Chains A and B, each alone.
Chain A
Amino acid sequence: MLLLSASDLRQLLVMRDVMKVVEEAFLELAELGAKSPKRDTRNS
């Protein structure tokens, strides 16, 4: 199993790439007609 710290994640993730995968996730929700998940996380 891989352990990734905040420091590791800062090295790995750039905003443009995250936007791409997040957009694909929402497209998946839209295209599959899936019900949106319940509020299941927080921004703060």
Chain B
Amino acid sequence: MSSLSSVLRVLRGILEIPEYNGCVLFMPAYLQRSKSVSLKVVGLYPDNVKRGLDTLSSILCFIDPETGSPLAVMDGKHITAMRTAAMTAIAAGHLARRSIESIGVIGAGVQADYQLKGILEVRSAKRVYIYDVLVERSQRFAEKVREELGLMAQVGESANDVASKADILIVATTSKQPVFDGRVLAKGVHVASIGWVGPEGRELDTTTVKRAKVVVDTKEGVLSESGDILIPIREGAITVDHIWCELKDLVSNRKKGRESEEEITLWKSVGVGVADAATAKLAYHKAREKHVGLWVEI
């Protein structure tokens, strides 16, 4: 048996399909102690918009680590959204001020809903400020927040407007350019950035990153895929050492989270496969317990 570190070390595969302007990603993960093995397959096809199809599709295979047999195949998008929001919530529990009034949301797509609900698991807020480049989407999200969560919700005039008013700011966009000016952030704000656009694009500006104590899901992931961190490094504005720690350091109390009411904190996540594996295991066992899903022979 190889060492545990090598067991847990997994590689992501990308299969480019240039003739259709798409790619398929293969994302394996293994948690030895909790006996979870999963493989998530994601299709990213921007031209699907023209076909009236989702640009992203995803399934996840949950595998028995003892036999290698597949135990379940499940929708990958819901698993991804839930585990991403869970990671954000865990990080916010360590990084956000205990007492807050408002949450800002920039980018009111599907992820924003999950992210907001995750944050509300660890912090209470009275108001939500929302901005999306699509005004209708902002308004729909505001209505949903009022109806489902019973919070005051207001559509902001601009991304800067929302960023300046938030105690916790969720940034969940597909923008390749910074969406707000980091100079408008108030002291003590916690920023949760989960938009993924690759190493050459970013939703955060250099000022935001430079002003903040930065915690990431994994350094390896962020330093290979997140322009939010890589571009400021390339500019010489920060070094790798500007990253305070990874999420595992917070949950294990190896590193402190927030240390003052005034510091600005930033959670940057590009995704971690082990979170998929853990969430898939939970779904599988709950499904068996509650007799949910469809059993098939293969």
Q: Which residues of chain A have a CB within 8 Å of any CB of chain B?
A: 1-6, 8-13, 15-19, 21-44
Contact = CB atoms under 8 A, between A and B. Distances in A.
Contacts of B249: 30
Contacts of B288: 2
Given A22-B90, A44-B174, A44-B195, 10 more contacts: A3-B73, A15-B89, A25-B274, A26-B251, A32-B8, A37-B272, A40-B272, A41-B27, A41-B40, A41-B276
A15 B283 contact: no
Contacts of B156: none
Nearest to B251: A26
B86 A19 contact: yes
Contact of B11 (A1, A28, A40, A41): A40
A32 to B, nearest CB: 5
A37 B287 contact: no
13 contacts: A4-B283, A18-B82, A21-B34, A23-B251, A25-B31, A35-B220, A36-B220, A37-B9, A39-B224, A40-B27, A42-B196, A44-B195, A44-B196
A34 B295 contact: no
Nearest to A36: B218
Given A2-B284, A25-B274, A39 B251 contact: no
Contacts, number: 229
Interface in B147-195: 172, 174, 194-195
B49 interface: no
Interface of B: 4-5, 7-12, 25, 27-29, 31-34, 36, 40, 42, 44, 56, 70-75, 77-80, 82-87, 89-90, 111, 114, 117-118, 121, 172, 174, 194-196, 218-222, 224-225, 246-249, 251-252, 254, 269-279, 281-284, 286-288, 290, 292-298
A35 B248 contact: no
Contacts of A44: 56, 111, 174, 195-196
